[in-house]
Structure 1
Amino acid sequence: MKITIKVLKGKDCTLEVSPKTTILEVKEQIDAALQIPITNQKLLLLGRPLNNEQTIESYPSIKDGTKLNLIVMKPGLRDCIHRAFRKYYNEAQSERLTNEFMTDFEAKLKEQSLDDLERFADSTL
């Protein structure tokens, strides 16, 4: 069956899916077709987000010709770091390095006092 992905403030695309296709697989197709990373995608059906682990058939209102809305979320710090690592490393290495970076970053951030954070904010603004 064919479904249409309507990108808010963007272009549409039509995908070929089966009832057994998972929402994550749909997002992978969107990534391939529109170059929108999976982590930045939020698929909606009638205003409700779709679960990555669910299949198309688990949503009875998705039929041939159904339009799903795609919201493209701005990338966060993790996405930016991961994208930078992917320029120089393969996907598995990039994921591992990103996880290590974020763990270290969060630990260092927790060590800072509110005064430290305020001084940092004042110096950067």
Structure 2
Amino acid sequence: MQITIKVLKGSDCTLEVAPTSTILEVKQQIETELQISAANQKLLLLGRPLNNEQTIASYPNIKEGTKLNLVVMKPCLRDSIQRGFRKHYPEQQAERLTNEFMTDFEKKLNEQSLDDLERFADSIVSRATT
């Protein structure tokens, strides 16, 4: 059956899905079609999020021609860092480097005082306004 994916603040795409397809499989199709990571997708039907493990058939309101809304969530810092490492390193090494980076980043962030953070924020704001 064909369903339409409506990207909020974006375009539509039509997918061919089977009743036995899981929502995660649909998200993977969307990733291939629209280059939006499945991890950053939230599919909604009638305003309610769909569960990755459920099949299309488990949602009786999904039938031929149904429109699902896709909300694209911003990736977290960790995902962005790991995606960068994956471009240059094998998966296991990228995971290890990401973990080391995040540990070091959180340690250094915790060492900062509120005054340090305020100065940092002020410098960013002043650069943005010039």
TM-score, normalization by structure 1 = 0.81
Give the gaps of 5 or more residues in structure 2: 126-130
| 1:1-125 correspondence to structure 2 within 5 Å | 1-125=1-125
Name which of structure 1's ranges 11-20 and 37-46 shifts more when overlaid on structure 2.
11-20
CA distance in 2, matches of 1:46, 1:37: 22
Q: CA 1:9–1:111 in 2, change beyond 3 Å: closer, same or farther?
A: same
CA distance in 1, matches of 2:2, 2:28: 16
- SS across alignment from 2:103: helix
C-alpha displacement of 1:29 = 0.7
Identity between Structure 1 and Structure 2 (%): 78
Which residue type is aligned with residue 86 of structure 1? R
Deviation readout 1:8-55 (Å, 9 max, x if unpaired): 232222222222222111111100111111222121111111122222
Number of matched residues? 125
Name which of structure 1's ranges 83-92 and 45-54 shifts more when overlaid on structure 2.
83-92
Give the gaps of 5 or more residues in structure 1: none
Deviation readout 1:63-110 (Å, 9 max, x if unpaired): 222110112233332333223212212344334433332233223322
CA distance in 2, matches of 1:69, 1:17: 16
- Name which one, 1 or 2, has greater alpha-carbon Rg: 2
CA distance in 1, matches of 2:41, 2:104: 26
Q: CA 1:112–1:90 in 2, change beyond 3 Å: closer, same or farther?
A: same
- SS across alignment from 1:115: helix
TM-score, normalization by structure 2 = 0.78
- SS across alignment from 2:14: strand
